[in-house]
Chain A
Amino acid sequence: MILLALLLAVSDPCASPPAERNDPELARRYVAVGEGERDSGSNDTARFAFREALRSDPSNEQARRGLDALCTDARFEEGRRLLDEGDPKSAVIVFSRLRAATASRPAALLEGIARYQLEDAAGARPLLEEAELEPGLADAAHFYLGLIALREDNARVAAEQLAQISPDASLAATATELTRTARRSGRLVISLLVDSGYDSNVTLLPSGVPGGQDGMGSIAAALVARPLGESGPWLRANGLYRRQLQLHDYDLGAVGAAAGWQLGRAAKHVGLEYDYDYLTLGGSPYLGAHRLSASGATAFGQFLLSGGYMLRFESYRTGATRPFSGILQAANFTAGLRIGAGGSIRVGYQLGGDVAQYPETSYFEHGPRARLDLPLGERTRLSADASALWRPYDAVDPALGVKRADLFLDGTLGADFDLSDQLTLRATVLGRRAFSNAPDLSYARVVVSLGLLVSTGVF
Chain B
Amino acid sequence: MSWALWASLLLTSSASATTGAEEHLLAGARFFKEGRFAEALVEFRVAQKAGSGQALWYAGAALQKLGRSEEAIEAFAAADPTGHDALLDYYRALACYDARLYLCADKLLASVGDRSGPRIAGLVQEVRAKIAVVLRDGPSTDTIDWYHERAIEAGQGRKLLATAYLEEALALSALRADHYRAADARAALLHLRRLGSR
Q: Which A residues are within 8 Å of any B CB, using their own CB?
A: 26, 29-30, 32-34, 36-37, 40, 42, 44-45, 48-49, 52
Q: Which residues of A contact B50 (CB under 8 A)?
A: 29
Q: Which chain B residues border A40 with CB–CB below 8 Å?
A: 68, 71
**In the complex, are the beta carbons of B46 and A30 less than 8 A apart?**
yes
Contact A29 B49 (CB under 8 A): yes
- CB-CB contacts below 8 Å: B7-59 with A: 20, 38-39, 41-42, 45-46, 49-50
Interface set of B (CB-CB < 8 Å, partner A):
20, 38-39, 41-42, 45-46, 49-50, 66, 68, 71
5 A-B pairs besides A48-B42, A49-B42, A52-B46 with CB distance below 8 A are A29-B46, A33-B46, A36-B45, A37-B45, A44-B38
A331 smallest CB distance to B (angstroms): 63
Q: Nearest Cβ distance between residue B76 and chain A, in whole angstroms?
A: 16
How many angstroms between the C-alpha atoms of A48 and B36 in the bound complex?
11
21 contacts between A and B (CB under 8 A): A26-B46, A29-B46, A29-B49, A30-B42, A33-B42, A33-B49, A34-B42, A36-B45, A37-B42, A40-B68, A40-B71, A42-B66, A42-B68, A44-B38, A45-B41, A45-B42, A45-B66, A48-B38, A48-B42, A49-B45, A52-B46
CB-CB under 8 A from B66, the residues of chain A are: 42, 45
Q: Which 5 A-B pairs have the closest CB atoms?
A: A45-B38, A33-B45, A29-B49, A49-B42, A29-B46
Chain A residues in 8 Å Cβ range of B68: 40, 42
Q: How far is the CB of A332 from chain B (nearest CB, A)?
A: 61
**Bound: A6/B174 CA distance, A:** 62
Residues of A within 8 Å of B38, CB to CB, are 42, 44-45, 48
Residue of B38, B39, B66, B71 with most partner-chain A CB within 10 A = B38
Q: Which residue of A lies closest to B45 (CB)?
A: A33
- The interface residues of chain B lying within 8 Å CB-to-CB of A32 are 49
On chain A, the residues within 8 Å of B49 by CB distance are: 29, 32-33
The distance from the CB of A56 to the nearest CB of chain B, in whole angstroms, is 10
List, in ascending order, chain B residues with CB within 8 A of A44's CB.
38
Residues on B with beta carbons closer than 8 Å to the beta carbon of A37: 41-42, 45
* B contact face: mostly helix, strand, loop, or mixed: helix
Complex: chain B residue closest to A49, CB-CB = B42
Complex Cα distance, B50 from A44, in Å, reads 22
B residues in contact with A34, CB < 8 Å: 42
Residues of chain A lying within 8 A (CB to CB) of residue B41: 37, 45
A48/B45 in contact, CB under 8 A: no
Residues of B within 8 A of A42 (CB): 38, 66, 68
A40 and B41 alpha carbons, distance in the complex (Å): 13
Kindly state the separation between the CA atoms of A26 and B19 in the bound complex, as whole angstroms. Answer: 13
Chain B residue nearest to A43 (CB atoms) is: B38
Q: Which of B38, B42, B49 has the most CB of A within 10 A?
A: B42
Residue of A26, A32, A45 with highest tally of chain B CB at under 10 A: A45
B49 to chain A: closest residue by CB = A29
Q: Which A residues are CB-close (under 8 A) to B39?
A: 45, 48
Asked if A52 and B42 make an inter-chain contact with CB atoms under 8 angstroms apart, the answer reads yes
Determine how close the nearest CB of chain B comes to the CB of A67; give it in whole angstroms.
13
* Closest chain B residue, CB of each to CB of A34: B42
- What B residues does A36 contact at CB under 8 A? 45
By a CB distance below 8 angstroms, the chain B residues around A33 are 42, 45-46, 49
Give the CA-CA distance A21 to B50 in the complex, in Å.
Answer: 17
**How far in angstroms is the closest Cβ of chain A from B39?**
5
- Give every chain A residue within 8 A of B45 (Cβ-Cβ): 33, 36-37, 49
Chain A minimum-CB-distance residue to B27? A52
Q: How far is the CB of B137 from chain A (nearest CB, A)?
A: 35
Q: How far is the CA of A36 from the CA of B75 in the complex (A)?
A: 13
C-alpha spacing A117/B20, complex, angstroms: 52
CA distance A49 to B49 in the complex (A): 13
Contacts of A30 in B (CB 8 A): 42, 46
User: A37 vs B71: C-alpha distance in the bound complex, in angstroms?
Assistant: 11
Nearest-neighbor residue (CB-CB) of A28 within chain B? B49
* B-chain residues with CB within 8 Å of residue A26 when the two chains form the complex: 20, 46
A436–B8 Cα gap in the complex (Å)? 97
Q: Which residues of A contact B71 (CB under 8 A)?
A: 40
Chain A nearest CB: distance from B61 CB in Å? Answer: 14
Min CB distance B16 to A, Å, is 15
A36 to B74 CA separation, bound complex (whole angstroms): 14
The listed residue with most A CB atoms (<10 A of its CB), out of B20, B49, B66, is B49
A320 to B39, CA, bound (A): 92
Complex Cα gap A96–B42 (Å): 29
A44→B42 CA distance, assembly (Å): 11
Q: Which residues of A contact B20 (CB under 8 A)?
A: 26
Q: Distance (Å) between the CB of A35 and the closest chain B CB?
A: 11
Tell me the complex Cα distance, A49–B71, Å: 18
- Using Cβ atoms and an 8 Å threshold, which residues of chain B touch A29? 46, 49-50
- From residue B65, how far is it (CB to closest CB) to chain A in Å? 12
Cα distance A49–B46 when bound, in Å? 9
Closest A residue to B68 using CB positions: A42
Instruction: Give min CB distance, B168 to chain A, whole Å.
Output: 22
Cα A310 to Cα B124 in complex, Å, equals 82
Least Cβ–Cβ distance between A31 and chain B, in angstroms: 10
Q: Which of A30, A33, A36, A40 has the most CB of B within 10 A?
A: A33
With A and B bound together, what is the CA distance between A42 and B49 in angstroms? 19
Q: How many Å lie between the Cα of A29 and that of B23 in the bound state?
A: 14
> Measured between alpha carbons, how far is A357 from B20 in the docked complex, in Å?
102
